[in-house]
A = this chain, B = another copy of it.
Amino acid sequence: MPYTLPMARWQPNASERLALAALELFAERGYENTTVIDIAQRAGLTKSTFFRHFQDKREVLFGHDAMNRLLVEAIAAAPATATPLEAVAHAMDAVGREAFTPARREFSALRHAVIAASPELREREALKGLALTAAMTDALKRRGVPDLASCVAAELGALAMKIAYERWSDPAGGDDFSEVARRALGEVRAASTLC
């Protein structure tokens, strides 16, 4: 062979490899029985490199935070005439289109199960949930929605999203996240009038 392809000095996608290795190991032996060194070894890397890519061990399952940007942009892009909850529904559509696609349903379900099995991971998820509703609240305020209404709409939207996520993760549930989420949002809205 006249040519040898230039060998990349490092294998690509270090972060993704670490995240995948972590998910696999957590699913196999549980979060607490997996050390950071284990994760790094399975990804062909070291502890140092792990902490260069993730702030801490929990963050490896929550890394990118793309969801917040997605929601904020979709809420901002909703038609000016939309009510707060309609803007939230618009954001759910975007999530179904770009994040919770049918192809990622199985992956999401596994990730969800792993998180549910570990107190530490549930705690981190609770924090991410707060950040998510804070981001939605902010996005609604920027639409001119009054502060309190923004808080309430974001809270109801986050609740609907949690419910929708659980239904969508279930193999028996619907395939299209947007549909499931719009229905959940409608139910939440209806329930809120009964309080």
In whole angstroms, what is the CA distance A175 to B120 when docked? 37
Interface membership of A194, Cβ < 8 A: yes
A155/B159 contact (C-beta < 8 A), A130-B126, A189-B195, A195-B85 known: yes
How many copies the complex holds: the figure is 2
Interface residues contributed by chain A, number (CB under 8 Å)? 28
Contact surface of A with B, Cβ cutoff 8 Å: 83-85, 122-124, 126-127, 129-130, 146, 148-149, 151-153, 155-156, 159, 163, 187-189, 191-195
Q: Chain B residues near A192 (CB, 8 Å)? A: 152, 156, 192, 195
Q: Which residue of B lies closest to A151 (CB)?
A: B159
Q: Which residue of B lies closest to A86 (CB)?
A: B195
Q: Which residue of B lies closest to A156 (CB)?
A: B195
Q: Chain B residues near A187 (CB, 8 Å)? A: 148
